[in-house]
């Protein structure tokens, strides 16, 4: 199938873009049932997203279903993957291979979705020169040197907070255009640099707050 040019990204809202991977994951599991078509209502029942919103999201990426038939599942999967750029592989460096960084290198779904981590960088001399999940680890000071040899599009930052901005600056200076920040430190960069923050601490805080909001908080044997 001929891939469409992805030239509508700027016209699609960020909430829609964030929902597309949810649809994709569901559709990939649903296609195993050997059904050829699916309706927005069926997706809505499983994902608890309003069917009207689902229809709007698909229309935003120029995908329209047929009345009383719905969407062809294989085509819908292909259209979402194409829109999200999964068919285009981007290479990445990762800075910081502690517990979190190591876990990220093991996440094989990155490759399936178009991101390939090819080199890792560390300040810890005990890790430099080793391989983690077939990824060679180099001195973090050599990022620019390795970029000149093997340019990449994405820099994944999983270093301690106090190193995050310095690492980001090095990555931007050598030519990396997108930073995926797994620290809790807000990064500063010029407007043309893409920064995506993924803060596990914030997600955990939200979970704990939602769990606690309807229950009394116990602190050192005292109810607050």
* pLDDT per position as a tens digit, 101-124: 999 999 988 988 899 999 999 999
Task: Give residue limits of the domains in the chain.
Answer: 9-84, 90-203
Half-sphere exposure of 161 (CA within 13 A, CB side): 5
Residue 3: band (very low, low, confident or very high) from pLDDT cuts 50, 70, 90: very low
What fold characterizes domain 9-84? Arc Repressor Mutant, subunit A (1.10.10)
pTM over 0.85: no
CA 108 to chain centre: 13
* pLDDT per position as a tens digit, 58-81: 999 999 999 889 999 999 999 999
| CATH code of the domain made up of 90-203 | 3.40.50.720
Residue pair 163/186 in contact by the 8 Å Cβ criterion: no
């Amino acid at each position: 199938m001929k891939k469409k040019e992805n030239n509508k990204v700027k016209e699609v809202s960020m909430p829609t873009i964030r929902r597309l991977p949810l649809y994709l994951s569901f559709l990939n599991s649903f296609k195993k049932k050997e059904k050829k078509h699916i309706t927005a209502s069926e997706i809505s029942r499983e994902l608890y997203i309003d069917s009207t919103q689902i229809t709007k999201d698909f229309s935003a990426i120029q995908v329209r279903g047929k009345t009383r038939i719905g969407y062809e599942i294989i085509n819908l999967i292909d259209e979402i993957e194409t829109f999200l750029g999964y068919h285009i592989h981007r290479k990445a460096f990762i800075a910081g291979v502690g517990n979190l960084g190591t876990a990220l290198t093991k996440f094989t779904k990155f490759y399936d979705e178009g991101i390939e981590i090819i080199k890792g960088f560390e300040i810890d001399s005990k890790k430099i020169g080793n391989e983690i999940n077939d990824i060679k680890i180099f001195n973090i000071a050599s990022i620019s040197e390795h970029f000149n040899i093997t340019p990449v599009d994405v820099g994944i930052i999983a270093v301690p907070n106090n190193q995050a901005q310095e690492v980001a600056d090095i990555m931007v200076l050598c030519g990396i255009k997108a930073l995926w920040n797994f620290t809790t430190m807000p990064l500063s960069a010029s407007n043309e640099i893409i920064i995506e923050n993924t803060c596990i601490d914030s997600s955990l805080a939200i979970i704990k707050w939602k769990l606690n909001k309807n229950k009394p908080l116990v602190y050192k044997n005292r109810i607050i």
